[in-house]
Amino acid sequence: MKKYTLGLLVLLGCSEVETPAPVAREVNFSGIEVQDFQLGGANSRVMAEDWKHIFERYAELEITNVASGQTYTLPFDPNDFQHPYNINLPEGEYTATTAQAGEGIIPNLPFTAEESFIVGEERLNLTLNAETSYGLVTVKNEFLESAALVVGGERYELVRTLDRENYFLYAPGGTTAELQIIDHFDQDTVRRDLTIGAREHYHFFLFIPENGRVGGVELGMMNEK
């Protein structure tokens, strides 16, 4: 009887209790929004909502579980959220960070973004809220041959958008520049001095005055009084 009891205790002592695996939930990232970007000019409270920002085509979202420190990497194209980017994560609290660096006058917008979220029973759909210290200059593609920013003696040609409707460049906030536009009719150069503010969008366009092109075309700026 004693031997039987001892054997039973040994068997019980060797048994293991299985820990259930953490439940994974789907998390979708469906867009990116640049915070507080607005039209520069007399009434800077008007938001620049019609412009779709242009980024470098590759970025990585680093997702970290706050409790365990486990990290996950999700590659994505900030220009293309036609289909959300998704990842399965165990339930818990997370942070997600991403960034694209930039320097000088460039045809893409540098940014940083950081989000905190909790994975629970419900599927999550998240939008990345990005911040930037850059501003934007655009010129409508009408009545012009070319457009450029001159900064510190260096000339930077504005880049035409894929839909061919505008020319554009991004510049660090605080940049002092001269915008030079060569008109299509007489090849005259129209100039405008400006200081580019962070998160401000300056949109220019050429137009023909009411009295015709006697004095040449003129330069206007959206949101300018």
Is residue 178 within 8 Å of residue 150, measured between CB atoms?
yes
Q: What is the pLDDT of residue 156?
A: 98
- The answer to whether 24-131 and 134-221 have equal CATH topology is yes
CATH of domain 24-131: 2.60.40.1120
Per-residue pLDDT tens over the stretch 7-53: 444 444 555 566 666 788 999 999 999 988 888 765 444 445 678 99
| Domain residue ranges in the chain | 24-131, 134-221
pTM attached to this predicted model: 0.85
pLDDT tens digit string along 154-210?
Answer: 999 999 999 999 999 999 999 999 999 999 888 999 999 999 999 999 999 998 887
Burial of 106 (0-12, 13-18, 19+ CB in 10 A): middle
For the chain, where are the E strands, in sequence order? 24-34, 38-39, 59-65, 71-76, 85-90, 92-100, 111-119, 124-131, 134-140, 144-151, 154-157, 159-160, 166-172, 175-183, 189-196, 200-207, 218-221
pLDDT at residue number 209:
83
Retrieve residue 211's tokens: 């009295």
Q: What is the mean pLDDT of residues 120-132?
A: 94
pLDDT at 212 over 80: no
- Fold type of domain 134-221: Immunoglobulin-like (2.60.40)
Each residue's pLDDT tens digit, 79-106: 999 999 999 999 999 999 999 999 999 9
